[in-house]
Structures are given as structure tokens and as C-alpha cells.
Chain A
Amino acid sequence: MIIRVKFGKEGALRFIGHLDVLRTFQKIFRRADIPMAYSQGFSPHPIMSFALPLGLGLSSEGEYLDAEIVWPEEPGEGDSCPPPDAGEGAPVPEPVPEPVPELVEGLVEGTGGGDSCPPPEAGEGGPPPKAVVGGGDLLSALRAATSPDLPIYAVRRLPEKAGNAMASVGRAAYRLEIRPEWTGELKEAAQALMARESILIQKETKSKTVEMDLRPCIHKLEVNQGDSPPHLILHLSAGSKANIKPELVWELLNAGYGERKPLSLRRLDLMLEDGTSLGAIGEEL
């Protein structure tokens, strides 16, 4: 079964690079006792892929990884333990800033039946699942195994034909905190920028510099001052086709104001090209 895990990066984790996050998740799955599927070959590795690496220093509440786990596919099949009915499973909460241990406890209570079912028999070749983890338990097991700076928000089961997270990313949403005194200037700059038909920029690739139009890559640009603290919301093209860093748009908006930097930079979500959140695909477990 392929699952999609939605997670965040806070505090210390902002300074942990992509590869280290990947290795950490391998450990979290082991700590959570969720058996992963392995690739073939002399040095098999767990099958896991991430949607889009996050730049060092950024926090996030909308990161995704897809993982293949060894999991009974169909309820009632063979000796497999049936996952609890979706209706009975614990409600998966909306992203919370910091999952607290009490919440995890509550989730464990909400799932029924998982504990009383005997573990499935070991299949030929593959490792036997070490423990039976019920549907909602998957989330609570991961939460109990992670660190507070690496919160896990949701686990969904991906349909057969869903593209993997990495291939399907089309957009990314960011939130940039700003100083109150910048809001006026930034609003004007944002309006001017969005009113332009094209924004030609020089983009450096590995081998050469190419000219590209940034305008169709900016899907949303808002300056919000009502809420405190004031901030910018940016929806930008992301992924393999065009990957625009929020810093690039920030520089355009702040041209003429010297070395101005946003107070903080946070990724809010990753989306398909049509704007659907990667977290909306598949079914809740």
C-alpha cells in the first residue's frame, strides 16, 4: 500500500537538509514499527519519495512524502488483519501547529479492533509485518515516533493510479512575514507586479542563462495586514517544469529597498498544477 504523509518542519528542523530528513523518516518508520517495502538488489532501500525539497532555513506546514508500506490490502483477505472501517477510525485533525502527546493518546483510543487481531503470517520473500497497526494507528504511531520539530499531520492512502508526490507537484504556497511599516509599499509593488503582462527575468541554469517569463508562474500574491502579524501570501509554480523560489519574487517586490529580508519564510502547502492540495488526494485512513 502506498501512503502519503503530510508533515511540517519547525525550529531545529528548518536547518536539516533534504537528505537528512529522508534518512530521519526511514528511522521514524522503524521506530513506529511500520514495515516498509524495500527495493530489490544487493543493497535494498525502503521505497520512499518526497514531493519537493525545502530550502534550508524555511519552516513549513505542508510537506509530503509517499511511502510504500507492507500492509494488508483487502479487508478479510487470508490471515490479514482488517484495517478498521474508515467511519470508525479516529478523525484526522486539521494541521495543528504542534502535536502534543496527549492528542496522540486520544487517537490511539479512538481506533478499534487493531490490538486483538493476530499478526499476519510472513509472506514469501518479504519481511513479515512486525506489528499490526490499525488505520488511525498509523498516524498516531508515526506521531509517537517523530520529534516535536517534525510534526506529522495526516496519513492518506493513495489510489493505484495517483502520480507520485514528486511528479505531481505544480505549485507551492508560501507565507512571508513582514514588518508593518512595509505593508503600504509592498501592496503597491504587488499590484504593479500582478498588473504586468509579462515579467521577463534572467534565470541561470547549470550550463547557461535563459530568459523566462515569471508572470504566469505567480498564481497568487496577496499582502495581508488585517491579521497580525502582517504577511505576504505567494502561490508560485513549483516542481519539475518551473520552480520559482519565493525569494525571487520578494527581491522584485523590494527592488530599491536595499537588503530587505522577510522576517520569516514558511511554506504552507504543495499543490497540483490545478491548485488542488497534494494533501487532498487519496482517502483518509
Chain B
Amino acid sequence: MRKLALSEEILNTVEKPARYVGGELNSVMKDKEQVALRFAFCFPDVYDIGMGNLGLQILYDLFNRRPEVWCERVYSPWPDLDRIMRERQIPLFALESQDPIKEFDFLGITLQYEMCYTNVLQVLDLSGIPLLARERGEEDPLVIGGGPCTYNPEPIADFFDLFYIGEGEVVYDALFDLTIRLKQAGASRQEILKAAAGIEGIYVPSLYAPRYHADGTLAAFIPLCPEAPEKVRRVIVKDMDRAAYPENPLVPFVRPVQDRVTLEIMRGCIRGCRFCQAGMVYRPVRERSLERLMAIADHSLAGSGYDEISLSSLSSSDYSDIAPLVTGLMEKCSREHINISLPSLRIDAFSLDVMSKVQDVKKSSLTFAPEAGTQRLRNVINKGLTEEDIMRGAALAFHGGWTKVKFYFMLGLPTEEESDMKGIPELCQRVASLFFDEIPKEERKGKIQITASSSFFVPKPFTPFQWAKMEKKEEYLRRAHLVKDTFRAQVNARSMHYEYHDADVTVLEGVFARGDRRIGQVILRAYELGAIFDAWTERFDDARWQQAFQDCGVDPDFYTMRERPGEELFPWDFIDIGVSKAFMRREWERAMEGIVTPNCREQCSGCGAASYGCGICPGGGR
């Protein structure tokens, strides 16, 4: 029988005790005496959110294929358990062995969104690991960060011993080999870190020091020893068909956010939207073959027992074999009572035909993501979707029986004017009118319902908009209110619903996204003031953060309210993602002129990703 770290009394007290007991189908148990390296993989949010993460599933499977490595999982304890653990000094533990994290060789933390940063500190703190990397001793686990936020790791550099820059499948083997070898040879923590810095894709922040100009901008980023390379190159999977895929995915007992098999059909995106970090940092587009995907689908469904499968990619319609893939899956799934979920499909005749077969048309809604309200602004952001595309798709959908349509927009994009803001409700109105024009009264199967939601744009590193200025919270709210008021004034206002995201969080995300090492103290201070689970709206308290900025003497406006000059050195410039800064600057300039750049399939724009020699790039193969 597995032991449990928490007493029965505690488990009977806390909300959803299943979050802390492990034992799920396909979770991996090993004998800790028989392994050479123990890795605690942490998703710094509550179990229900983190459980289904595909990156975690891939690496959990990959690491555990090595007999001498045991990878276990850990999530953020919810505040109810957090309080009990602090009161009774119960150390944070991994789900599988239920052993304290402090006993592990590695604590790997996946950083999926900036608002989890205080949860990183919570996890370290509850584990009994010093929050600052420089205060850790020989016995502490090596704390390594990975995931999307590592494309600017500087705001959290003080808390990590290493970062993994790139796709997880590539160099963890080398890192584990090196660690096992050096530990057995009795090497010190510092020696291991210096050696690890030599592995492509591994960044050891303590081996670098930033220098600043008098105006606060970065002057230089200096490697402190010969082992630290000047540039850290992102590592990527070159052949997706040969990359490992979890055919026995973990299946939680409690219903997670993602209660299905995820089928990652490709990585990267041909589109090159100028606001989108994923569209840049996952270049070039690399597809899995149809044969491999069908085999993965078979194995993962059989190995997990899930009754739903979902396609995953940044833009599934751009997958070369999308039609045979979807048709093949539909045949398999209707035979075996399995549901298919098809997010991120462009609305056209093919996708509507497929969707009418796999879901209830009356209940489901169709989603468009124009991101901006006018064609002018869509050209600025290089969003390929035109008004004609939207109208044609919507007309097809209305004839197919759909009456619910969702739209996603962003406010605060560079060059945004009042006409662009008003363009959002006006576009929605034209779609509503289209419904009444296209569908005669007697054929209408329901009321048209349009839901539009907008988030506020946050400029991200490694995008053409990384130079952009943000706005103040008040200005964001003014724009949202203007959109709301314009919605109210539309003819079919009663068929339209508009909602917008929180503005407080936006500004903070902006600081974290393009912050430097001086932001670390602010995060630490906010944590001391009680901030955790900031990604949860009801737990987020902006006052705490304002206090933290003040206490640390850091001005958030420095990070958000400047349009950065073209020549400015960015804190993340030491990372080489393959896509050049010159390309992104060119894209910024084209954006300012409203010029659209063709997608990767139409024409190569010479972004630099071809240096990886794979995928869609000229000479890349596929």
C-alpha cells in the first residue's frame, strides 16, 4: 500500500483531497533505492488545472522511460491546504512517492503564464528550499524552469538554478547523464551548474550579470565564466515523427480541465501574427505525419480509456493533411463511441461539415478570432482573416443551422484608434444582420447569439511588437467602456453580449513579460505580502502588488509605458530563438505601415528559423 503524506484528518478537511493523493491510472511508481535521479515535475497551479497539460504529460512519459530516472509530479496546494501545511510544518511532497520535494535531485517547474510566479515561490517555500538560488546548499534540489515564460526568464532568474530554453524532448537526457555522472563523482552544485551551462539550451542565470545605463535600460549582459556561452540557443525537435509521445497518458480520477486525449498534430504556425509569441518561438512549422497521428490516436485512446480526443496545434486548419486526418478520426471515433473536439479550425465548408457530424449544432457555438475590429488594424497585426472570410464563414454556418457565434478581440493593439474600437461592435452587428438577411424567418431555428470578448494586448518578447508601449489601466478601461457603449447602440444589441478581461492583471503581465532581473525582488515582496494564485481573479489583489513595487522602489511604468527605441538591448536578447531581431524589427516597421507579410507556406520571409534546417523552411523537408 502506498503511504500518504497527509493524515486522514487533513485529507478529510481539505477541499478535493484527490488533488493530493496520486495513484492515478498510468502514474508511475518506482523503487527510489533503484533509481539514480529523482525529478519532481511541478505545475505551479492547482492540480485540476495542471493535470492535463500536454508538456507535462510528454516529459513525464519521456523521463520515466529511463529506468534510472523517476519523474514524479507536484502541484500547488490550494490555499486551504497551504495554510495547514504552514501551521503544522508539513513539507511539500510529490504525488507518487509522497516523499518531500527536498529529497529530490531536481525540481522542474513549468512556467505557462506569468501570473503563476508567486506560486513558484509558494512551492519552493513549502518544500523548504531557499527562495533565492544563491542561498541554496549542496543538499537542495536543482531548480530548473521550462515552458513559454522562459523566453524571458529574467524577472524570475533569482529563483532558479537553471532554465531550459526550448522544447523539452531534446536535451534533458544529456542533462540527466551529466548530473548523474557528476554527482557520482562527488561534484559540487556549482560544478554541476557550470557543466550544465555547456549543454545547448541550458541557461544558468547565476553565471551572468546585467549592467544598466543611467536611464535604467540594459547596457550589457555579461557571462561571468568561460563555461557560460554568450548566447543560449533554443533547442527544438527536428523530426516530430520520431519525438516520443505519451501513449499511456496519465488519467486523473477527478475531472480535470482537459478530460481527453490531446493529439498534438504539429508545432509552430505559418501565420506570423505580429502579437503572437507562440507563432515566433515555435518556428518553424513541423508536422507529424498522418500515419503517426493515427497510430498515436489509437494507442493513446486504448492506453487511457478516454472517450474524447482533441486536436491540438496553433492553427489546425493549416495542417497539410487535415481533411484525411479528421475523416479518419471520425470513422474510428463513431465506431467506438468517442467524441472528437476540433478547436482552432478555420470556419469553412469542410470544417462546418465535419462539425455538424461530431457535435450538436443547436448547442455548439462557432468561434472566430479576428483579434481586431477593422481591416486596417488586422493588417497591422498581420492577422490573415479578412471581413470577407468572416462573412462567408458565418453565412455558411447560419445555413448549417448554427446560431451561436463567438468572437475574440484584443484591445490596446499598437496604432489602435477609436474607429478600431468601434469597429468591434460594428463587425458583430454586420454578422447579426447577415443572419437576418440570409435566413428567412420561417427557417430560423433559434435566436442569433453573438458573444464577443476582448482581452487587453500585452507585448511579448520575441515578437515584432516587443518594442510597443502599453497603456495605463484607466485607458484600457476607457477603451473597453467605449466598446461596451457602442455595442449598446447597435440595432441588434439584444442579440449581442460583450465581456472584457481584467485590466489590473494586464499591466502586471506587461511588467513580467518584458521585465528584467530587478523585477525579482518585487515578486518576492508581493509573495511576502501574501500574494499566491494571482492567476485566479478572485484571489488577485492589485493593492498588494502596488505596495510591493513601492517597497522595492521599482517603477512599473518603466517597463510598460515606454515605446522602446530600435537599438535598445533587451533582457532576453541573450536567447537565440533562431528568428532574428532584424526580422522582427522589419515586421514592426511593416506593421507601422500596415503592410501584410505572406505566411510561411506562401513565401519565405527569411526570419532566420531556417537555420534549424527542418520543418516547412526551404530545405527543411516537411
Contacts and interface: CB of A to CB of B under 8 A. Distances in A.
Q: Decide if A and B are genuine partners.
A: yes
Interface of A: 10-13, 15-17, 20-21, 23-24, 26-31, 33, 38, 42-44, 46, 56-57, 98, 127-128, 130, 145-149, 264
A27 B306 contact: yes
Interface string B2-22: 101000100110000110011
11 contacts: A10-B1, A11-B2, A12-B253, A16-B253, A20-B253, A27-B251, A38-B337, A56-B12, A56-B17, A57-B11, A57-B17
Given A16-B253, A20-B253, A31-B302, A147 B336 contact: no
- A-B pairs, 4 with minimum CB distance: A27-B305, A12-B23, A12-B21, A30-B305
Residue of A13, A23, A264 with most partner-chain B CB within 10 A? A23
Nearest to A33: B302
A44 B18 contact: no
A149 B304 CA distance: 17
A98 B29 CA distance: 15
A70 to B, nearest CB: 11
B255 interface: yes
B253 A13 contact: yes
B303 interface: yes
B2 A147 contact: no
B22 A12 contact: yes
Nearest to B8: A57
Contact of B253 (A21, A43, A127): A21
B2 A12 contact: yes
Contacts of A20: 18, 253-255
Contacts of A42: 360
Contacts of A11: 1-2, 4, 21, 23
A42 B359 CA distance: 9
B255 A127 contact: no
B173 interface: no
B1 A12 contact: no
Interface in B1-60: 1-2, 4, 8, 11-12, 17-18, 21-25, 27
Contacts of B441: none
Residue of A11, A15, A26, A42 with most partner-chain B CB within 10 A? A15
Contact of A130 (B2, B25, B336): B336
Contacts of A28: 25, 305
B242 interface: no
A151 B57 CA distance: 25
A98 B301 CA distance: 27
Residue of A16, A38, A42 with most partner-chain B CB within 10 A? A16
Contacts of B213: none
Contacts of B11: 15, 57
A44 B336 CA distance: 11
Contacts of B227: none
A15 B305 contact: no
B24 A147 contact: yes
B336 A24 contact: no
A26 B25 CA distance: 12
Contacts of A127: 335-337
B398 to A, nearest CB: 22
A15 B306 CA distance: 21
Nearest to B12: A57
Nearest to B259: A23
Interface in B331-356: 335-337
Nearest to A42: B360
B18 to A, nearest CB: 5
Interface string B299-316: 001111111000000000
B302 A26 contact: no
Contacts of B23: 11-13, 147-149
Nearest to B338: A30
A26 B305 CA distance: 7
B262 to A, nearest CB: 15
Given A57-B11, A148-B23, A98 B337 contact: no
B337 A24 contact: no
A27 B335 contact: no
Contacts of B335: 127-128
A27 B4 contact: no
B251 to A, nearest CB: 6
Given A11-B1, A31-B303, 19 more contacts: A11-B2, A12-B2, A12-B18, A13-B253, A15-B11, A15-B21, A16-B253, A16-B254, A24-B25, A26-B307, A27-B305, A30-B306, A31-B25, A42-B360, A46-B337, A146-B25, A147-B23, A149-B2, A264-B8
A21 B303 CA distance: 18
Nearest to B362: A42
A152 B23 CA distance: 15
A17 B336 CA distance: 27
A24 B307 contact: no
Contacts of B17: 15, 56-57
Nearest to B363: A42
A130 B302 CA distance: 11
A145 B336 contact: no
Contacts of B25: 24, 27-28, 31, 146-147
A146 to B, nearest CB: 8
B305 A145 contact: yes
A127 B307 CA distance: 14
A188 B25 CA distance: 45
B304 A27 contact: yes
Contacts of A17: 18, 254
A102 B360 CA distance: 46
Given A11-B4, A57-B11, A148-B23, A24 B253 contact: yes
Contacts of A46: 337
Contacts of A31: 25, 302-305
Residue of B12, B27, B301, B303 with most partner-chain A CB within 10 A? B12
A23 B255 contact: yes
B18 A16 contact: yes
A20 B27 CA distance: 17
Nearest to A263: B8
A15 B19 CA distance: 9
A30 B248 CA distance: 13
B246 to A, nearest CB: 15
A119 to B, nearest CB: 13
A178 to B, nearest CB: 15
Contacts of B27: 147
B49 to A, nearest CB: 17
Nearest to A30: B305
B94 to A, nearest CB: 13
A12 B305 contact: no
Contacts of B305: 26-31, 145
A100 B257 CA distance: 32
Interface in B564-601: none
A28 B24 CA distance: 12
A141 to B, nearest CB: 12
B93 to A, nearest CB: 13
A33 B305 CA distance: 9
A4 to B, nearest CB: 20
A127 B337 CA distance: 8
Contacts of B254: 16-17, 20
Interface string B269-308: 0000000000000000000000000000000011111110
Nearest to A36: B337
Contacts of A21: 253
A94 B335 CA distance: 37
Nearest to A21: B253
A16 B20 CA distance: 11
Contacts of B304: 27, 31
A130 B337 CA distance: 12
A127 B336 CA distance: 7
B365 to A, nearest CB: 17
A249 to B, nearest CB: 19
Nearest to A32: B305
A147 B250 CA distance: 12
A9 to B, nearest CB: 11
A147 B22 CA distance: 11
